Amino acid sequence: MGNKPTFAGRPGVSRPVFLLDMKNFSALGRWVAALLLALPMATRAQNVGIGISTPTQTLDVNGNVRVRGATGTGTRLLQADATGIVSPAATSYPATGTFAPTLASTTTGLNNPLVAVSGTLAVVLNRGAGTLSLYDVTNPAALVLRGTATGISGGVKVAMNGASAAVLCSGSPYVVQLYTLGSGAPALATTLTPPNSLVNAFAGIAMTATRLYAAFDRGGSYGYFYVYDVSNPAAVVAYNQAVPCSTCPTGNTGYFTPQNVAAAGTLAAVSNAYAGATVLDVSDPTTPRTVGSTGAPGYNGADQPIALTTSALCMLTIPTAQLSTYSLSAAGVPTLRNTFTTGTTPVSVALNGDLAYVACRGTSTLQVVDVSGATPVLRGTIALDASANNVAATNTVTLAANASAANDLQAFSLPTRTVAINTDGSVTTVPTPTGTDFIQNQTATAQSASFNISGSAVVGSTLAVGVINNFAGGTSAAPLALGTKAASYLSLRPTTAGTDDYFQLPAPTSCTGRIYYLCNVGTVTANLTSAGGSLVRAATGASGSPFAMPSSSAGRTVLAISDGVNWTIGTLN
């Protein structure tokens, strides 16, 4: 029979993943492939969801997408050819313009809230009231409350992904309450109690599509880190519940005082008060493995907020108001990329694509920082209603939970974004170009004008051209080259013959196809010359220089077109 197809399953999961050895694709393998292709179209045409149980599109992914064949340099826009093949454009997309989310709505009446968001859903943990509320944030201008769960005791942190949410509750011991999310109030599915009695003040949780990660401090010893399969919230599978040793320098206990957890793909990060953040490889959830640490100058005695993608890690150091961004290798090893001084008392950071959203409690502001390059760029600062508790962000909405006296949730709409691809091949979005961005065939050097095209371009719609009014000329011995100006329409204003009445076009060989629209609005005749070639009269074919443009009669407005050899001059009035 040859090599048979195999099934790769995870502990406690009843849905195996079908794997085929493509190098040794046996007769049985070919038969199975043929059978799959022969399935009725109604079956094969159903929507497919990854990380979501109710997909609404042909392919609906709740999480990040990565195309390893599209790795490269810089953030690049995606392009599609006539056959539908998608690939990255050759040019990079620099993020230099302003990027300020706009306040869309405010939800009041909360009680010391924390927020988490995933897709079009958000949950708000009202710590003071012991409740968990579910909101539909499809329209940031009008959040829809689906329902509220009550009876949460000691809730200190919240996380969510897809149709599940988790609340970390302090007590003796600490526990994690897991909720399912539907059309109404969040429903408590189970309560997870770690195998050791944990009563310390530091702990953190994070969620991905099918996993929950939880870290706990245990005072004076290395912390605990647990991984759970939560694809079925009613039957959670605990992957690594063995009691950690007290002196292990690596593995899932390689840090003191764990405080926050972040996760993306097959990586997780745990921040701690002594060594910054530890990055873990959780591809084998039964044995989390330390791959690197950011390091820190020493114990800072404060919370260490973090955010993670598959290619970057952001970490806040509250006492020094510093945002540190680390690039992650393919294995997850962190390397410092840049640092940024935030507003005072930064308490929360969310990372979406190349943008870090930092909530600053001391200044009651939300800062948007581009962390893609060696030098971070502040893209915008937004005022918050009160001292910030935390921030959460997606591609379409940013949510800020504010403490007293506002006790509210501010929802910010994001500017229009376009799909792009990062250096590691992960797909992201970036702000659509604005008046301060250059958009196509650009060089790496920042441009001087609002709109620049470095190279050829095709305009498929309306193009607004540059205008320069009241342009002064020069003497016949010192003509002024119009080709140095970024404009197509120029009004010429000569005032004195022999002083400022000469205007020189650039050599036609340097600007084939260029068109100038010229009008004499001065008081004397304007004399048009060229730095090369001839000035050919369109009406007669005769050539000569200068071309006289009177100030108050026919011929005062002309069109000059370069054919690459000469300028053809046509009189418009």
302 and 237 fall within a common domain: yes
177 and 39 fall within a common domain: no
Quick check: 155 pLDDT over 80?
yes
Among 369, 396, 414, the domain boundary falls at 414
Give the CATH number, domain containing residue 494. Answer: 2.60.120
Residue 501 located in a structural domain: yes
Q: Looking at per-residue confidence, does 345 or 194 come out higher?
A: 345
Quick check: 12 pLDDT over 60?
no
Quick check: 180 pLDDT over 90?
yes
The pLDDT > 90 percentage for the chain reads 45
Per-residue pLDDT of 122-137, as tens digits, reads: 999 999 999 999 999 9
Rounded mean pLDDT of 470-492? Answer: 70
Q: b/e string for 357-378 if b means 16 or more Cβ within 10 A?
A: bbbbbebbbbbbbbbbeeebbe
Quote the pLDDT of residue 251. Answer: 41
Residue 548 located in a structural domain: yes
476 and 526 fall within a common domain: yes
Quick check: 201 pLDDT over 70?
no
CA distance 135 to 155: 18
Domain assignment of residue 236, given as a range: 102-414
Quote the pLDDT of residue 283. Answer: 92
525 and 407 fall within a common domain: no
311 and 347 fall within a common domain: yes
Quote the pLDDT of residue 71. Answer: 77
Rounded mean pLDDT of 310-329? Answer: 94
Domains held by the chain: number: 3
Give the CATH number, domain containing residue 191. Answer: 2.130.10.10
CA distance 362 to 364: 6
> What DSSP designation does 70 have?
G
384 and 474 fall within a common domain: no
Instruction: Give the mean pLDDT of the chain.
Output: 81
CA distance 261 to 258: 8
Quote the pLDDT of residue 2. Answer: 43
Residue 435 located in a structural domain: no
* Six-digit token string for 476: 């016949």
Strands (E), 365-522: 365-370, 377-383, 388-393, 397-402, 409-413, 417-421, 427-431, 467-471, 480-481, 489-492, 502-505, 515-520
Among 69, 92, 115, the domain boundary falls at 92
CA distance 562 to 479: 19
Per-residue pLDDT of 80-97, as tens digits, reads: 777 877 787 766 655 556
Rounded mean pLDDT of 517-546? Answer: 91
pTM of the model: 0.65
Per-residue pLDDT of 452-461, as tens digits, reads: 555 555 555 4
Residue 451 located in a structural domain: no
Residue 424 located in a structural domain: no
Quick check: 249 pLDDT over 50?
no
396 and 487 fall within a common domain: no
51 and 84 fall within a common domain: yes
CA distance 566 to 532: 8
Quick check: 46 pLDDT over 60?
yes
Residue 446 located in a structural domain: no
228 and 354 fall within a common domain: yes
Among 37, 72, 92, the domain boundary falls at 92
CA distance 342 to 363: 10
Residue 120 located in a structural domain: yes
